[in-house]
Every structure is written in structure tokens, then in C-alpha cells.
């Protein structure tokens, strides 16, 4: 049963979500209005808005995107789901929580340094996955790929994620066959993580 | 992409699809809105709110399938919001007959007025960590079950999610208490 506190919380979250969506639409409206008020640049602006706003939806516009654009459209940093820190003071946090906090706060160099000290036989593939993510998020795609390619895919809770990010890096490097192979593995598992996006992305590179 | 694909993407809280819908029907809605309102700002505001309401209904599971097109549904909500705006301005409808083809869809007009407790929750919620916000939003806003959250956020099992959720709620209550 939902209590009053939970009802209030729900209301507050709905309001927050509404405001976020409103800002998105108002910004879009401003860009459309600016475009209309400046007819000379209308065509240029229109193409920019179409390409950038709907990156990833090129099917609507029947145009192929470059590998760089595809990577940008589909890439988003993977969140920290292993070690969420809920304690309030830094003193209370374990080393592992601190390194993951650095990851959350986008201090990837510190996170990389920390993750390298953490690996044990038991957690090796989990920590190495986040090590790869840290390299990827800071733009070091080659190093990230090296680690991802070494990670076992069987019996790995991040196997879908490994295939997804490998596919994105392969696309960036224009290795489309390898990318398709990784996407196929992800699609075959029929997992919820990026399943639809994988299908869509596969169509884009075919 | 058909309407049911659009609904599935809206359900995922997809910002790009929100923008696509906005651009697709914007001109038609402005022309439609001009039959009801004299105020351009009201028309755009109503259109934005109609899209946001549509997405909210889909995300919160209040709307899963449509008996009409997305466009008709959206215009139905927009029509209601514009009528409400006119009512507040004490204005009569310009040419109601011209908009008869669109059935008005009554939706709750969102109030931005918060009680003092809700204001505290709002302040406290902002101070929570990213993981807490994620779990609480999925559970309370999107109505996910613990199993669905486990799968979506890749947690180890539903018990981890359950304790994470209660730790986060406890922390939120502590923050709120400290605000008093």
C-alpha cells in the first residue's frame, strides 16, 4: 500500500520529469523559431537540426550516417551498477566504493588507477569491465577495446554490455563485419539491454 | 515507424522521439490551435504540454494502446488544454465547430504548487546519489517491479534492489528531517 510520503514523492518526481521534458521542447521550439526568423540560413539550419536532433533515426530521413556519427548517436557511458554508494561521508566508504564514486563523477583517471588495484580472481571480469568503460569514456577507444576483447562472454553478467560497446568501437574504427558479429550475439541473447538499439544499429551499418 | 513503435519508444523515456513527434505535428497543431485561441504562446505551450502528457501517460502505464492515431489523441489533449487556457483568460472559443472533428480528451492539468512536505522532498531528492535517484524513479515514476529494476539496471538480484531502495528512502527521510 502506498502511503502519503510515497504519493508525495511520486508527485515530485512527475513534476521534475515534466520540467525536464518541457525544457527539451522549449529549446527545440526556440531553435525552430530562430530558424524561421532568419530565412537566409533556414536551409542550413534545417539540415543541422535534422541531422543532430535525430541522429540515430536516420531511417526516417533515408540517409546513411558516418561511423563517427553513429558512434556519437548511440554511445552513452555505462552507469555504475556494481557499487552504488549511499553512505553520506567519504570516511564511511570502502576503497571500492570510492573508486566507483570517482567513476560516477567522471574522474576516469582516478577510477582507472583505483580499479587496477582492485582486481582479484573473483571480481576480475566485473572490475575489468569498468576499467574498459573508464578508458572508453575518456576517449581511449583502443585501450578499452583491448580489455573488452579479453573479457570472457560466457558466465559474465556484463556479456550484453561487452558486445554492445565492442560493436560501437568497431563501428568507430569502420570494422563493420566485427560490429555486426557483436550485435548479432547481443540480439541472439534477446536481452533487454540495448536489444532494440542493436537491431536498429545493425540496419544502419548493413 | 508506426504509432505503436512510437509508443514503445516513448515508454523508454526517449528524448529523441519526443522531439520527432513535436516536429512532425507542430505546423498542423498551430493551424488547429488558431481555431481555438488567439494567443500563439498559449498554442505552443498547450502543444508542448500535450506531448508531455502523452509521454507521461505512456511511461506510467496509463496508456498502452490507442484506438485512434497518435496525432488525433495528441490534438484531443491539446484541445482540452487550450480550452482550459481560454477559460482562465475568460475568452470564448473562436470557432468551435471547425474543431469538432477532434474529440477533446480531458487530462489532469498539472499543478506546480507544492505542499511544504513536497517542497522538502524535492530538495532532499536532489541531494541523493545518482543510483538512488535511478532506483526510486524507476519504482515510483515508471512503476517498474523489483525484478524489472534488477534486469534494467543489471543488479545482482531483486533483494539487492529491495535493500538499495529502502536504504535510499531512509536516506531521503533523514535528509528531509535535517531540513526541518
What is the per-residue DSSP string for chain B?
--HHHHHHHHHTT-HHHHHHHHHHHHHHHHHHHTTT-S-HHHHHHHHHHHHHHHHHHHHTTS-S--SS-HHHHHHHHHHHHHHHHHHHTT---S-GGGGTTS-----PPPP----HHHHHHHHHHHTS-HHHHHHHIIIIIS---HHHHHHHTT-S-HHHHHHHHHHHHHHHHHHHHHH-
Query: What ipTM goes with this model?
Result: 0.89
Q: What is the mean pLDDT of residues B123-127?
A: 90
Residue A60: its pLDDT value, please?
A: 43
Of residues A61 and B99, more confidence is placed in: B99
- CA distance, residue A74 to nearest chain B CA (Å): 12
Are B140 and A80 in contact (CB < 8 Å)?
no
Q: If you average pLDDT over each of A87-101, B53-67, B96-110, B133-147, which comes out highest?
A: B133-147
Residue A67: its pLDDT value, please?
A: 82
What is the tens place of the pLDDT at every residue in B144-160? 999 999 999 999 899 99
Per CB-CB distance under 8 Å, the chain B contacts of A60 are 1, 20
Of residues B93 and B163, more confidence is placed in: B163
Residue A190: its pLDDT value, please?
A: 64
What is the tens place of the pLDDT at every residue in A150-201? 998 887 888 889 999 999 999 999 999 999 999 999 988 766 678 878 888 8
Per CB-CB distance under 8 Å, the chain B contacts of A53 are 16, 19, 23
Q: Which of residues 97-126 of A touch B (CB under 8 A)?
A: 104
pLDDT at B73 over 60: yes
Q: If you average pLDDT over each of A31-45, A165-179, B61-75, B82-96, which comes out highest?
A: A165-179
Are B131 and A81 in contact (CB < 8 Å)?
yes
What is the tens place of the pLDDT at every residue in B44-71? 999 999 999 999 999 888 887 788 888 9
- CA distance, residue B167 to nearest chain A CA (Å): 7
With a CB cutoff of 8 Å and minimum separation 6, the contacts of B168 are: A86, B128, B131, B132, B135, B136
Pull the grid cell for residue A45: 539550419
pLDDT at B94 over 70: no
The pLDDT confidence band at residue A8, using thresholds 50, 70 and 90, is: very high
| Average confidence score pLDDT of chain A | 80
The pLDDT confidence band at residue B164, using thresholds 50, 70 and 90, is: very high
Residue B89: its pLDDT value, please?
A: 80
Residue B138: its pLDDT value, please?
A: 94
Pull the grid cell for residue B36: 481555438
Of residues A57 and B47, more confidence is placed in: B47
Q: What is the mean pLDDT of residues B70-82?
A: 93
For residues B70 and B43, the answer to whether their CB atoms sit within 8 Å is no
Q: Give the C-alpha separation, A197 to B17, whole Å.
A: 13
Per CB-CB distance under 8 Å, the chain A contacts of B131 are 79-81, 84-86, 104
User: Which stretch of A32-41, A74-83, B17-26 has the lowest confidence by average pLDDT?
Assistant: A32-41
The pLDDT confidence band at residue B180, using thresholds 50, 70 and 90, is: low
Amino acid at each position: 500500500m502506498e502511503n502519503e510520503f510515497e504519493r508525495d514523492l511520486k508527485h515530485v518526481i512527475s513534476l521534475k520529469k515534466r520540467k525536464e521534458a518541457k525544457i527539451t521542447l522549449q529549446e527545440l521550439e526556440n531553435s525552430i523559431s530562430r530558424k524561421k526568423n532568419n530565412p537566409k540560413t533556414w536551409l542550413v539550419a534545417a539540415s543541422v537540426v535534422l541531422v543532430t536532433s535525430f541522429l540515430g533515426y536516420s531511417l526516417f530521413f533515408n540517409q546513411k550516417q558516418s561511423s563517427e556519427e553513429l558512434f556519437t548517436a548511440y554511445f552513452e557511458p555505462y552507469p555504475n551498477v556494481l557499487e552504488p554508494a549511499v553512505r553520506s561521508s567519504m570516511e564511511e566508504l570502502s576503497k571500492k566504493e570510492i573508486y566507483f564514486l570517482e567513476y560516477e563523477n567522471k574522474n576516469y583517471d582516478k577510477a582507472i588507477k583505483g580499479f587496477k588495484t582492485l582486481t582479484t580472481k573473483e571480481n576480475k571480469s566485473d572490475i575489468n569491465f569498468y576499467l574498459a568503460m573508464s578508458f572508453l569514456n575518456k576517449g581511449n577507444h583502443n585501450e578499452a577495446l583491448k580489455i573488452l576483447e579479453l573479457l570472457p562472454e560466457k558466465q559474465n553478467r556484463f556479456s550484453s554490455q561487452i558486445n554492445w560497446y565492442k560493436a560501437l568501437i568497431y563501428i568507430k574504427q569502420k570494422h563493420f563485419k566485427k560490429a555486426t558479429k557483436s550485435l548479432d550475439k547481443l540480439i541472439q541473447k534477446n536481452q533487454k539491454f540495448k536489444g532494440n538499439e542493436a537491431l536498429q544499429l545493425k540496419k544502419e551499418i548493413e | 515507424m508506426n504509432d505503436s513503435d512510437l509508443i514503445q519508444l516513448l515508454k523508454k523515456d526517449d528524448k529523441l522521439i519526443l522531439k520527432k513527434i513535436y516536429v512532425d505535428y507542430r505546423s498542423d497543431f498551430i493551424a488547429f490551435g488558431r481555431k481555438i485561441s488567439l494567443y500563439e504562446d498559449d498554442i505552443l505551450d498547450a502543444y508542448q504540454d500535450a506531448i508531455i502528457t502523452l509521454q507521461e501517460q505512456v511511461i506510467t502505464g496509463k496508456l498502452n494502446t490507442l484506438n485512434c492515431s497518435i496525432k488525433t489523441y495528441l490534438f484531443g489533449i491539446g484541445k482540452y488544454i487550450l480550452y482550459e487556457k481560454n477559460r482562465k483568460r475568460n475568452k470564448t472559443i473562436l470557432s468551435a465547430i471547425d474543431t469538432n472533428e477532434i474529440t477533446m480528451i480531458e487530462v489532469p492539468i498539472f499543478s506546480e504548487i507544492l505542499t511544504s512536505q513536497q517542497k522538502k522532498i524535492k530538495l532532499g531528492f536532489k541531494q541523493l546519489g545518482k543510483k538512488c535517484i535511478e532506483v526510486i524513479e524507476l519504482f515510483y515514476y515508471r512503476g517498474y517491479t523489483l525484478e524489472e529494476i534488477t534486469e534494467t539496471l543489471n543488479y545482482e538480484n531483486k533483494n539487492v534492489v529491495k535493500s538499495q531502495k529502502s536504504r535510499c528512502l531512509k536516506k531521503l527521510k533523514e535528509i528531509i528531517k535535517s531540513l526541518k
